């Protein structure tokens, strides 16, 4: 049998295989980066949603589920920042650099920065009290 081309398979493979392995590694690392970003985004949304449900002790909503009782008010900002610090300390695959909670009159903003990325992950939750909303709807229906 005669060969049409001259060359050695091992020499050609020594050029191709590192490229193929590098591409596999690149795909795996980008998938892990996107997974961490999704996990941080989900955590920010859940923290914003929980912090938005904090109420004054008079309204009797949100106290038992999400908060620790303070003298007069629940502290959503303290709760959110404490949870972000806890995640950073105990979850090695939760790479956040800094986290912040901003409480406004109508919304809760939670933002964190992922390590290795310059972008900030922001989530917002409206301050709604379902108990008061249901009471108001019932009053409108009965009127």
**Each residue of 92-122: pLDDT tens digit?**
767 788 888 888 878 888 888 888 787 888 8
- Tell me the per-residue pLDDT of 51-96, one tens digit each, with 9 for 90 and over: 877 655 555 554 444 444 454 556 778 878 888 888 888 777 677 8
- Rounded distance between C-alpha atoms, residue 118 and residue 112, angstroms: 11
How confident is the model at residue 27, as a pLDDT? 97
* Separation of alpha carbons 78 and 102, rounded Å: 10
Comparing CA positions, the residue from 56, 51, 115, 123 lying closest to residue 83 is 51
pLDDT at 23 > cutoff 50: yes
Which residues, in sequence order, are bridge partners of residue 126?
107
Average pLDDT, the chain: 79
Question: Looking at residue 87, what is its pLDDT?
Answer: 83
In tens, the pLDDT along 28-52 reads: 999 988 888 888 889 888 888 888 7
Claim: this prediction has a pTM higher than 0.75: no
pLDDT, greater one: 13 or 19: 19
């Amino acid at each position: 049998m005669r060969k049409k081309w001259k060359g050695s398979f091992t020499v050609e493979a020594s050029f191709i295989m590192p490229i193929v392995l590098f591409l596999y590694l690149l795909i795996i690392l980008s998938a892990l980066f996107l997974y961490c970003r999704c996990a941080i985004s989900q955590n920010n949304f859940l923290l914003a949603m929980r912090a938005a449900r904090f109420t004054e002790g008079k309204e009797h909503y949100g106290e038992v589920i999400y908060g620790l009782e303070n003298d007069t008010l629940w502290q959503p900002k303290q709760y959110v920042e404490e949870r972000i610090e806890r995640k950073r300390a105990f979850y090695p695959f939760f790479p956040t650099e800094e986290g912040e909670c901003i409480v406004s009159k109508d919304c809760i903003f939670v933002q964190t920065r992922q390590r290795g990325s310059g972008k900030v992950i922001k989530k917002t939750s409206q301050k709604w009290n379902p108990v008061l909303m249901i009471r108001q709807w019932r009053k409108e229906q009965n009127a």
